[in-house]
Amino acid sequence: MTPILGIIASSGTPRTFSVDYLVVAGGGGGGLWVNSTYSSGGGGAGGLRCTVTSTGGGGSLESALSISKNTNISITVGAGGSGATAAAIGTNGSNSIFSTVTSTGGGTGAYKDAAGNVFNANSGGSGGGGGEGAATGGAGTTNQGKAGGTAATSEYTTDGGGGGGGANAVGGNGTTSVGGAGGAGVATSITGTSVTYGGGGGGARYAAAAGAGGSGGGGAGGSNTSGVAGTANLGGGGGSGSNVAVGGNGGSGIVILRYLTADATITIGAGLTGSTATSGSYKVTTITAGTGNVSWA
Protein backbone atom coordinates (compact mmCIF):
# COMPACT_ATOMS: atom_id res chain seq x y z
CA MET A 1 0.00 0.00 0.00
CA THR A 2 1.40 3.42 -0.94
CA PRO A 3 2.07 5.62 2.16
CA ILE A 4 0.29 8.96 2.50
CA LEU A 5 3.17 11.41 2.21
CA GLY A 6 3.29 14.44 4.54
CA ILE A 7 0.90 12.89 7.05
CA ILE A 8 2.79 10.08 8.81
CA ALA A 9 6.53 10.14 9.37
CA SER A 10 8.61 6.99 8.93
CA SER A 11 8.72 6.63 12.72
CA GLY A 12 4.92 6.48 12.83
CA THR A 13 4.51 9.84 14.58
CA PRO A 14 2.24 12.42 12.92
CA ARG A 15 3.74 15.24 10.84
CA THR A 16 0.68 17.32 11.68
CA PHE A 17 -1.03 17.37 15.07
CA SER A 18 -3.70 19.28 16.97
CA VAL A 19 -3.02 22.21 19.33
CA ASP A 20 -5.58 23.65 21.72
CA TYR A 21 -5.06 27.26 22.69
CA LEU A 22 -5.98 30.14 24.94
CA VAL A 23 -5.14 33.55 23.46
CA VAL A 24 -5.82 36.56 25.71
CA ALA A 25 -4.98 40.11 24.64
CA GLY A 26 -3.81 42.95 26.86
CA GLY A 27 -6.43 44.82 28.87
CA GLY A 28 -7.28 48.46 28.24
CA GLY A 29 -6.14 51.28 30.52
CA GLY A 30 -8.56 52.89 32.94
CA GLY A 31 -9.98 56.35 32.29
CA LEU A 32 -9.73 59.52 34.40
CA TRP A 33 -11.71 62.66 35.11
CA VAL A 34 -9.26 65.42 35.93
CA ASN A 35 -12.00 67.56 37.53
CA SER A 36 -12.57 66.16 41.01
CA THR A 37 -16.34 66.33 40.67
CA TYR A 38 -16.60 63.84 37.83
CA SER A 39 -16.04 60.11 37.36
CA SER A 40 -14.71 57.94 34.56
CA GLY A 41 -14.87 54.46 33.05
CA GLY A 42 -12.82 51.33 33.66
CA GLY A 43 -10.70 49.68 30.99
CA GLY A 44 -12.08 46.73 29.04
CA ALA A 45 -10.51 43.29 29.28
CA GLY A 46 -8.42 41.90 26.49
CA GLY A 47 -10.25 39.76 23.95
CA LEU A 48 -10.23 36.03 24.76
CA ARG A 49 -10.33 33.09 22.37
CA CYS A 50 -10.12 29.52 23.65
CA THR A 51 -10.71 25.91 22.59
CA VAL A 52 -11.08 24.42 26.09
CA THR A 53 -13.96 24.78 28.62
CA SER A 54 -15.32 28.11 27.33
CA THR A 55 -14.37 31.13 25.23
CA GLY A 56 -14.95 34.87 25.20
CA GLY A 57 -18.07 36.86 24.43
CA GLY A 58 -20.43 33.98 25.15
CA GLY A 59 -19.53 32.38 21.82
CA SER A 60 -19.01 28.76 20.83
CA LEU A 61 -15.67 27.15 21.58
CA GLU A 62 -12.93 27.84 19.07
CA SER A 63 -11.53 24.96 16.99
CA ALA A 64 -8.06 23.56 17.68
CA LEU A 65 -5.41 24.30 15.05
CA SER A 66 -3.69 21.65 12.94
CA ILE A 67 0.03 22.39 13.14
CA SER A 68 2.81 21.05 10.92
CA LYS A 69 6.07 19.95 12.50
CA ASN A 70 9.34 21.78 11.81
CA THR A 71 7.43 24.95 10.91
CA ASN A 72 7.80 28.32 12.64
CA ILE A 73 4.54 29.50 14.20
CA SER A 74 4.29 33.16 15.22
CA ILE A 75 3.23 34.24 18.70
CA THR A 76 2.75 37.68 20.24
CA VAL A 77 1.66 38.37 23.82
CA GLY A 78 -0.12 41.72 23.97
CA ALA A 79 0.89 44.32 26.53
CA GLY A 80 -1.67 46.09 28.69
CA GLY A 81 -2.75 49.60 27.74
CA SER A 82 -1.67 52.65 29.72
CA GLY A 83 -4.03 54.29 32.19
CA ALA A 84 -5.08 57.89 31.64
CA THR A 85 -3.16 60.73 33.28
CA ALA A 86 -3.88 64.42 33.70
CA ALA A 87 -1.93 65.00 30.49
CA ALA A 88 -3.03 62.12 28.27
CA ILE A 89 -5.90 59.73 27.61
CA GLY A 90 -5.38 56.03 28.25
CA THR A 91 -4.67 53.50 25.51
CA ASN A 92 -6.14 50.22 24.36
CA GLY A 93 -4.38 46.99 25.17
CA SER A 94 -2.32 45.30 22.44
CA ASN A 95 -3.41 42.26 20.44
CA SER A 96 -2.21 38.75 21.22
CA ILE A 97 -1.56 36.33 18.34
CA PHE A 98 -1.04 32.61 17.87
CA SER A 99 -0.63 31.64 14.20
CA THR A 100 -3.93 32.63 12.51
CA VAL A 101 -5.69 33.42 15.80
CA THR A 102 -5.77 37.06 16.93
CA SER A 103 -7.39 38.37 20.11
CA THR A 104 -8.09 42.11 20.21
CA GLY A 105 -6.77 44.41 22.94
CA GLY A 106 -9.25 45.81 25.45
CA GLY A 107 -10.66 49.34 25.07
CA THR A 108 -9.66 52.22 27.34
CA GLY A 109 -12.23 53.93 29.56
CA ALA A 110 -13.78 57.37 29.06
CA TYR A 111 -11.64 60.41 29.90
CA LYS A 112 -11.93 64.17 30.46
CA ASP A 113 -8.89 66.43 30.37
CA ALA A 114 -8.10 69.64 32.25
CA ALA A 115 -9.45 71.77 29.39
CA GLY A 116 -12.82 70.05 29.62
CA ASN A 117 -12.42 67.95 26.47
CA VAL A 118 -14.32 64.69 26.67
CA PHE A 119 -13.13 61.44 25.04
CA ASN A 120 -15.43 58.47 24.55
CA ALA A 121 -14.66 55.00 25.82
CA ASN A 122 -12.96 52.88 23.18
CA SER A 123 -14.17 49.65 21.67
CA GLY A 124 -11.88 46.62 21.88
CA GLY A 125 -11.81 42.93 22.71
CA SER A 126 -13.99 44.12 25.57
CA GLY A 127 -15.13 47.75 25.62
CA GLY A 128 -14.09 50.47 28.04
CA GLY A 129 -16.60 51.95 30.49
CA GLY A 130 -18.36 55.26 29.98
CA GLY A 131 -17.89 58.45 31.97
CA GLU A 132 -19.73 61.71 32.56
CA GLY A 133 -20.18 63.52 29.24
CA ALA A 134 -19.45 60.28 27.37
CA ALA A 135 -21.76 57.94 29.20
CA THR A 136 -21.94 55.03 26.73
CA GLY A 137 -19.40 52.25 27.07
CA GLY A 138 -17.30 50.97 24.18
CA ALA A 139 -18.35 47.88 22.24
CA GLY A 140 -16.76 44.47 22.62
CA THR A 141 -15.64 42.17 19.80
CA THR A 142 -17.93 39.30 18.82
CA ASN A 143 -16.84 35.99 20.38
CA GLN A 144 -14.07 37.72 22.35
CA GLY A 145 -15.58 40.02 24.95
CA LYS A 146 -18.42 42.26 26.07
CA ALA A 147 -19.24 45.96 26.06
CA GLY A 148 -18.38 48.47 28.77
CA GLY A 149 -21.04 49.76 31.14
CA THR A 150 -22.62 53.21 31.02
CA ALA A 151 -22.01 56.08 33.43
CA ALA A 152 -24.71 57.60 35.63
CA THR A 153 -26.60 60.35 33.82
CA SER A 154 -26.57 62.81 36.74
CA GLU A 155 -23.76 65.34 37.21
CA TYR A 156 -21.03 66.33 39.63
CA THR A 157 -20.08 64.35 42.76
CA THR A 158 -22.81 61.74 42.50
CA ASP A 159 -21.65 60.35 39.18
CA GLY A 160 -20.40 56.77 38.93
CA GLY A 161 -18.38 55.72 35.89
CA GLY A 162 -19.18 52.56 33.95
CA GLY A 163 -17.21 49.37 34.49
CA GLY A 164 -15.08 48.00 31.68
CA GLY A 165 -16.44 45.02 29.81
CA GLY A 166 -15.21 41.55 30.70
CA ALA A 167 -14.61 38.54 28.48
CA ASN A 168 -17.81 36.96 29.83
CA ALA A 169 -20.04 39.84 31.00
CA VAL A 170 -20.91 43.43 30.21
CA GLY A 171 -19.41 46.03 32.56
CA GLY A 172 -21.69 47.27 35.33
CA ASN A 173 -23.46 50.61 34.96
CA GLY A 174 -22.46 53.48 37.22
CA THR A 175 -25.12 54.88 39.55
CA THR A 176 -25.45 57.87 41.84
CA SER A 177 -24.15 55.66 44.65
CA VAL A 178 -21.29 53.63 43.17
CA GLY A 179 -19.08 53.16 40.13
CA GLY A 180 -19.93 50.21 37.92
CA ALA A 181 -18.11 46.94 38.53
CA GLY A 182 -15.93 45.47 35.83
CA GLY A 183 -17.47 42.65 33.82
CA ALA A 184 -16.57 39.08 34.76
CA GLY A 185 -14.00 37.08 32.87
CA VAL A 186 -13.97 33.53 31.50
CA ALA A 187 -12.76 30.45 33.38
CA THR A 188 -10.87 27.77 31.45
CA SER A 189 -9.09 24.57 32.48
CA ILE A 190 -6.61 24.44 29.59
CA THR A 191 -3.70 24.12 32.05
CA GLY A 192 -5.43 21.36 34.02
CA THR A 193 -6.59 23.85 36.67
CA SER A 194 -9.46 26.29 36.32
CA VAL A 195 -8.25 29.90 36.01
CA THR A 196 -10.33 32.98 35.17
CA TYR A 197 -9.02 35.49 32.63
CA GLY A 198 -10.29 38.76 31.16
CA GLY A 199 -12.00 40.74 33.93
CA GLY A 200 -12.99 44.36 33.27
CA GLY A 201 -11.77 47.37 35.26
CA GLY A 202 -14.05 49.09 37.76
CA GLY A 203 -15.54 52.54 37.21
CA ALA A 204 -14.52 55.47 39.44
CA ARG A 205 -16.73 57.60 41.64
CA TYR A 206 -15.57 60.73 43.39
CA ALA A 207 -15.41 60.61 47.21
CA ALA A 208 -17.59 57.51 47.50
CA ALA A 209 -17.72 53.84 46.53
CA ALA A 210 -15.91 52.95 43.31
CA GLY A 211 -16.57 49.86 41.21
CA ALA A 212 -14.85 46.56 41.92
CA GLY A 213 -12.66 44.90 39.32
CA GLY A 214 -14.19 42.01 37.43
CA SER A 215 -13.15 38.43 38.24
CA GLY A 216 -10.20 37.50 36.07
CA GLY A 217 -7.74 40.26 36.85
CA GLY A 218 -9.78 43.45 36.52
CA GLY A 219 -8.49 46.41 38.55
CA ALA A 220 -10.79 48.27 40.95
CA GLY A 221 -11.84 51.85 40.27
CA GLY A 222 -10.65 54.74 42.42
CA SER A 223 -12.62 56.91 44.82
CA ASN A 224 -10.72 60.19 44.85
CA THR A 225 -7.67 58.00 44.12
CA SER A 226 -5.91 56.26 41.27
CA GLY A 227 -7.39 53.19 39.63
CA VAL A 228 -5.86 49.77 40.29
CA ALA A 229 -3.92 48.10 37.48
CA GLY A 230 -5.23 44.97 35.81
CA THR A 231 -3.41 41.75 36.64
CA ALA A 232 -0.48 40.76 34.44
CA ASN A 233 -1.05 37.71 32.22
CA LEU A 234 -4.78 37.69 32.90
CA GLY A 235 -5.66 40.46 30.43
CA GLY A 236 -7.64 42.44 33.00
CA GLY A 237 -8.74 46.03 32.38
CA GLY A 238 -7.35 48.85 34.51
CA GLY A 239 -9.60 50.56 37.03
CA SER A 240 -10.49 54.22 36.41
CA GLY A 241 -9.16 57.04 38.58
CA SER A 242 -10.68 60.26 39.88
CA ASN A 243 -9.58 63.68 41.09
CA VAL A 244 -6.26 64.26 39.30
CA ALA A 245 -5.00 60.76 40.01
CA VAL A 246 -4.30 58.24 37.22
CA GLY A 247 -6.14 55.41 35.61
CA GLY A 248 -4.83 51.91 36.23
CA ASN A 249 -2.79 50.22 33.51
CA GLY A 250 -4.29 47.21 31.78
CA GLY A 251 -2.89 43.76 32.52
CA SER A 252 -0.81 41.97 29.89
CA GLY A 253 -2.23 39.02 27.98
CA ILE A 254 -1.09 35.41 27.64
CA VAL A 255 -0.91 32.56 25.14
CA ILE A 256 -1.29 28.97 26.38
CA LEU A 257 -0.91 25.93 24.11
CA ARG A 258 -1.96 22.34 24.88
CA TYR A 259 -0.98 19.30 22.82
CA LEU A 260 -0.51 15.57 23.37
CA THR A 261 2.89 14.68 24.81
CA ALA A 262 3.15 11.77 22.38
CA ASP A 263 2.67 14.02 19.36
CA ALA A 264 5.51 16.52 19.49
CA THR A 265 8.18 18.46 21.42
CA ILE A 266 8.16 22.24 21.36
CA THR A 267 11.01 24.73 20.96
CA ILE A 268 10.36 28.28 22.22
CA GLY A 269 12.26 30.76 20.07
CA ALA A 270 14.13 33.96 20.86
CA GLY A 271 12.01 36.92 21.89
CA LEU A 272 9.46 34.85 23.82
CA THR A 273 9.27 34.16 27.55
CA GLY A 274 7.64 30.83 28.32
CA SER A 275 7.76 27.40 29.89
CA THR A 276 6.29 23.93 29.40
CA ALA A 277 4.69 21.65 31.99
CA THR A 278 2.93 18.28 31.93
CA SER A 279 -0.79 17.84 32.63
CA GLY A 280 -1.87 14.22 32.34
CA SER A 281 -1.27 13.08 28.76
CA TYR A 282 -0.71 16.67 27.59
CA LYS A 283 2.12 19.15 27.45
CA VAL A 284 1.05 22.72 28.26
CA THR A 285 3.23 25.58 27.06
CA THR A 286 2.61 29.01 28.59
CA ILE A 287 3.96 32.12 26.85
CA THR A 288 3.86 35.16 29.12
CA ALA A 289 5.64 37.89 27.13
CA GLY A 290 7.27 38.83 23.86
CA THR A 291 7.05 38.28 20.13
CA GLY A 292 8.70 35.40 18.28
CA ASN A 293 8.22 31.89 16.96
CA VAL A 294 7.67 28.42 18.33
CA SER A 295 8.10 25.14 16.47
CA TRP A 296 7.55 21.46 17.17
CA ALA A 297 9.54 18.37 16.24
Residue boundaries of the structural domains of the chain: 1-297
- pLDDT of residue 155 exceeding 70: no
pLDDT score for 36: 62
Q: Which residues contact 2 (CB under 8 A, 6 or more apart)?
A: none
Q: What is the pTM of this model?
A: 0.93
pLDDT score for 5: 35
Name the percent of the chain lying above pLDDT 70.
93
Q: How far apart are CA 177 and CA 195, in angstroms?
A: 31
Q: What is the pLDDT of residues 87-131, one digit of tens each?
A: 899 999 999 999 999 999 999 999 988 888 889 999 999 999 999
The better pLDDT of the pair 218, 158 is held by 218
Provide the 8-state DSSP code for 297: -
pLDDT score for 33: 83
Task: Please compute, for residue 112, the number of CA atoms within 13 A of its CA located in the half-sphere on the CB side.
Answer: 22
Q: How far apart are CA 188 and CA 42, in angstroms?
A: 24
How many other CB atoms sit within 10 Å of the CB of residue 263?
Answer: 18
